[in-house]
Structure 1
Amino acid sequence: MNINGYNHHFHHLATRRRLISPSHLFAAVVAAGQRRSMATTAAAAAAPSSAASGGDGRRRGGGGAAYTAIKERVVFEREVKKSKFIAIAGPVSDEQSAFSFLSQVRDPRASHNCWAYKVGDQFRSNDDGEPSGTAGKPIYSAIESSGIDRVMVVVIRHFGGIKLGTEGLVRAYGGVASECLKNAPTCLVKSKVPMGVEIPYELLGVLYHQLQAFHAEDIKQDYETGKDVTTMVTFKVDYDQMEKLEEAIKANCGRDIPLYKS
């Protein structure tokens, strides 16, 4: 064994540990998680999907502390100049679940099965044979106006023999989608916010008790804090529980414990 080489490696590691600040460590842990999430999203977006052909896939910036979700599947039906329009709305979590929902509700006997969905900053729509922009986009506009997220609306049309024209189609598809969402029971879903705390080993039990009480998720530990007998614990907690959790940790630990937020 090369003792000199080992000592040099140990000295380099110790120096590196001393240079890592808690805020930088927390930022690095959060960034690593975000990179993994972005890589997963990019891989999903790059994967071909035959069911999505004809849709106008796009992205839009967004995000927030909470979002409004639809609780259950809702159906709304309306007749427009002898054509029957049936709007079906339901909760979806991603593109895969959206296409699963579409396969469940679409009617192969219908003239058209047009749709749109929105999941965070991702959304797509499809005219399914109707003139471009007369079905999918109006359905998506109805979703956007409703303020509901993670939802899909499929509008099934049984043609009645009378053509509606471009404006008539836009009004019909957008109208039934809008009415369907108005009748939908909704709930507020709170987003999870990344947080981190640098804490001595002796207080880990106290910390974990509080994290459990506040239903924290995705809890991880990193011992590369640059300090002896100290670890960085990262986790996610409901947006509106951040301040209460911070107060509870400081009160139960009996000292001022620095918390970091993304």
Structure 2
Amino acid sequence: MPYTLQAPVQSELVIKKSRFLGCVESVPDRAAALARVAQRRTEHPGATHVCWALMAGGHSAANDDGEPGGTAGRPMLEVLRHQDLEGVLATVVRYYGGTPLGAGGLVRAYTDSVAQALLKAEKTPVVRHQMLHCVLPYALEGWLRRELDTHSASLVDVTHGEGVSATLRVPEAQAAALVGRINDAGQGKVVWLGGQDDVDG
């Protein structure tokens, strides 16, 4: 089961006068991750490198930001992979201390920066959701709103026309039970629209 992080966690290493400031945090997608990397650059204008690794939406990405190829982003990504993380960005800001660390030293420094931050991080399971779309009689709207809580579901959108068109966000594990409950209550008067969209997070 994949996990994400409850809150951002930081670490700091000093190796031969180089400072490595690690951070691990949850992000919804690549666009948010790139925005966060840009923010880290702004926060540390004097930094030599801002390297990062991302696991999100089943995709991965890594960036060495000028460090020798394969010595920063890729090792950071491997740490995330081994922890079975999803929707997590790792960044490491490096202030160069004047002494080269060599390829092996860099790999260890970037790996340790991420690993130390993750040791302090609180993980939470990723709950996958589905979006359900239905039209139901007005008489059932109040019942539906009460029923959603018992299935950890939420009402994303509702429009009123000939019937009540509702878009529901429900954990995958609860979807079938909720559909069954709605169908029972609707006694054949509930119309399901389109497919059931898979949504992460």
TM-score under structure 2 length normalisation: 0.74
Identity %: 27
Counterpart AA for 1:80: I
Match of 2:117 in 1: 180
Distance 1:206 1:108, change over 3 A: closer
| Residue aligning to 1:248 | 181
Distance in 2 between the 1:202 and 1:137 partners?
54
1:133 is aligned to: 70
The one-character-per-residue Cα deviations of 1:75-98 (angstroms, maximum 9, x if unpaired) are 111222332211012222223321
Q: Secondary structure at the match of 2:111?
A: helix
TM-score scaled to structure 1, two decimals? Answer: 0.59
> CA 1:112–1:196 in 2, change beyond 3 Å: closer, same or farther?
closer
Q: 1:68 Cα deviation (Å)?
A: 1.8
Following the alignment from structure 1 to structure 2, what is the Cα–Cα distance between the partners of residues 71 and 258?
Answer: 38
Structure of larger gyration radius: 1
* 8 Å Cα contact 2:76/2:110 also seen in 1: yes
CA contact (8 A) 2:145 2:155 kept: no
Q: 1:160 to 1:233 in 2, by over 3 A?
A: closer
Corresponding residue pairs, total: 190
In 1, are the aligned partners of 2:155 and 2:166 still within 8 Å (CA)?
Answer: no
Provide the rounded CA distance (Å) in 2 between the counterparts of 1:205 and 1:120.
33
Question: Can you list the C-alpha shifts for 1:72-124, whole angstroms capped at 9, x where unaligned?
Answer: 22111122233221101222222332122223323221222111222212332
Query: Could you tell me which residue of structure 2 aligns to residue 208 of structure 1?
Result: 144
Which stretches in structure 2 are left out of the alignment for 5+ residues?
none
For 1:206 and 1:248, the matched residues in 2 are separated by: 14
Greater strand fraction, Structure 1 or Structure 2: 2
Q: Which has the higher helix share?
A: 1
Code of the aligned partner of 1:123: S
Residue deviations 1:113-148, cap 9 Å, x none? Answer: 111222212332211111011111111111222222
- 3-state SS in 2 of match to 1:149: coil
Structure 1: tracts of 5 or more residues without a match = 1-65, 222-228
Q: Within 5 A, what are the aligned runs for 1:162-181? A: 162-181=99-118
Question: 2: CA distance between counterparts of 1:196 and 1:108?
Answer: 47
The answer on 1:120 being equivalent to 2:53 is no
Secondary structure of the residue aligned to 1:190 is coil
